Amino acid sequence: MAIEQLFEALPLHYVQHGISKFGVGNLVLALVITAVLGLIADYAWMLHLRSKMPPGPLPLPIIGNTYQLPDNKPWIYFEELSKKYNTPLITFWIGRLVIPYLPSNELLDKRAGIYSSRPKMLVFAELGAGQNNLVNMYTTTQAERDRWRVQRKLTHQGVGIQQVKKYRDFQNDESKVVAYDMLTTPEEYVAHFERYATSVVSIIGFGRRVADHKDPIITDVIAVMHLAADLNVPGKTFPMLMETFPILAKVPTDYAPWKKGLGRKRGGRGHDFFYSLAAEANENEGHEDCYSKMLFNEQPKYNLRPEEISSLSGNLFGAGSDTSSSTLITAVLAMRAFPKTLIPAWEELDRVVGPDRSPSFEDDANLPYMRAFVKEVFRWRSVAIIGGQPHAPTQDDYYNDWLIPKQTWVQGNVWAIHHSEKEFPDPDRFNPNRFLKDDPDSRPFPGERGYMTFGWGRRICSGQALAEQGTWLTVARLVWGFKIQAALDESGEPIPVDIFNYTNGLNWRPQPFKVSITPRSERIKQAIVREGEEALANLAPYEGETKYRMSTFYKQKK
């Protein structure tokens, strides 16, 4: 709108008595001076707050330090800043959003009661599920805490520590199917891992397994989880740039290509993919203990909205599909890049398990090296590389005399924690001996498990127990059953792998790499076939298909 048109839109008495006396030029000058003074005042506030907070690079007005963000893997940059300022906590400004980054667990674990809330996450949360999802919920008021506890309780009823022990039979069978599939199409190991992980959570949530690695629900769900992971990593490109300039989020989505479709309304009551999957499972006969049926049974008691049922059921995929499959891919990369670590594992498995059956959950206590091996998988390249979603203190807090204001976006840095030279010398070397109590490479670590892979405090990942038991079993079965060696190129030369070549999202995984996967012996191969066929028979009651496809669901609903 031209300046003349703006004046025409003003009430007549303003035009007559204001502009005529003051003059257009003077009015424009006054507006400019006011804007400049406002900018100076705002920047003075930023610098004042910066003087009280942990050290970090000098922010610029309005944009803060956004321009300094690297294009890829900012957690490595934040680790370097921590070393530069010689501090366990650094401050970084995304626009006017101030973010302390922690290369330690000092606050989020040891002060869990204070750091139990979430900050306002515009891109990841407010333009999506918002406060309907446990992952995003604030806990600053009693009402918010009460609602969060309801969803947390219902989540524990699905994937709590005691509950997941009931899933071990079909989780074990699905793991056996992975080994079985590796015999025929080992080059598709990524697809087999994704099918396995998605199938386990699908059985839990909806009473239906995913039998084919080409099932559309796998690619659809994994793609959504990758998008969600990308949307929670600070960036200087859209849509994450809206965190720097939040006013851009107020533009209607249909007229804002920079929003990448975020914030678009999905329709009316129950008009959502995961809600529809849950409702479909609730209507199906059998599998009365599936999570979706439990949610509908509890709906009247807790006054659950359809959006909450959608989030609770959908979170199973978020907690168990992409993350678990990515961890298994990392395990294969570690086996390929550090083959000597397999030798003591094979010796232990051959002694305890033998060639005629694969490892079981009951073998865990007798396989200390395998337990250490899996711990190192979690430590070496943790999937949730910045510890999941950011936390926010429910009150002003002080650490080393530094102020951390209430509702500040506080982000962990698992990469820095797991790459501490003090606890993990030569951190990029995959070394299971770190977790063997009497080994010279063993170091004390501030955490019972020896890794911080699943987050901290009251916001720790709900699916941790499910992921840990499934990862241990499947990695142990892969090591027991197969030789993981270099793939050969056309000239017969080994194809190298790059242990740093990972994706850029919050939940990262290795970029595609080639590897040779072959059975360790004929007797082991026969055991894999026998167990695989038995597992498929055991899983037959979970066979079935859904009528919904995420890729077409919303198009059909328009």
Bin 544: left if φ > 0, else alpha if -120 < ψ < 50, else beta: left
Say how far apart CA 466 and CA 23 lie, in whole Å.
71
Domain parsing of the chain, residue ranges: 1-52, 142-557
CA distance 349 to 179: 16
Six token digits for residue 460: 């720790």
pLDDT in tens, 504-522: 888 899 999 999 999 999 9
Q: Which amino acid is at 356?
A: D
Amino acid at 188: E
**CB contact at 8 A, 334 and 378:** no
Question: By the 8 A CB rule, do 87 and 55 touch?
Answer: yes
Please work out, in degrees rounded to the nearest 5, the angle formed at the alpha carbon of residue 282 by the alpha carbons of 277 and 286: 115
As a three-state string, the secondary structure of 1-35 is CCHHHHHHHCCHHHHHHHHHHHCHHHHHHHHHHHH
**Among all chains, which residue has been given the structure tokens 């970029």?**
511
pLDDT, position 134: 92
Between 3.30.70.260, 1.10.357.10, 1.10.630.10, 1.10.260.40, what CATH number should domain 142-557 receive?
1.10.630.10
Query: Do 469 and 168 touch, CB atoms closer than 8 A?
Result: yes
Supply the mean pLDDT for the chain: 88
Q: List, in sequence order, the alpha helices (H) in 321-452.
A: 322-337, 342-352, 368-380, 414-418
What SS3 state is found at 483? strand
Sequence ranges of the binding site for heme? 461
Nearest C-alpha neighbor of 66 from the set 92, 89, 90, 91: 92
Q: What is the pLDDT of residue 483?
A: 98
Beta strand 515-519 with 482-486: parallel, antiparallel or unpaired?
antiparallel
What does the pLDDT look like over 204-226, one tens digit per residue? 999 999 999 888 888 777 777 77
Q: How far apart are CA 210 and CA 498, in angstroms?
A: 31
Q: Which residues are annotated binding-site positions?
A: 461
Taking only the tens place, the pLDDT of each residue in 144-189 is: 999 999 999 999 999 999 999 999 999 999 999 999 999 999 999 9
Say how many C-beta atoms besides its own lie within 10 A of residue 500's C-beta. 10
Instruction: Tell me if 467 sits within 8 A of 161, measured CB to CB.
Output: no
- Below-70 pLDDT ranges, the chain: 1-22, 101-105, 265-271, 446, 551, 554-558
Preceding peptide of 239 cis, ω within 30°: yes
pTM to 2 decimal places: 0.91
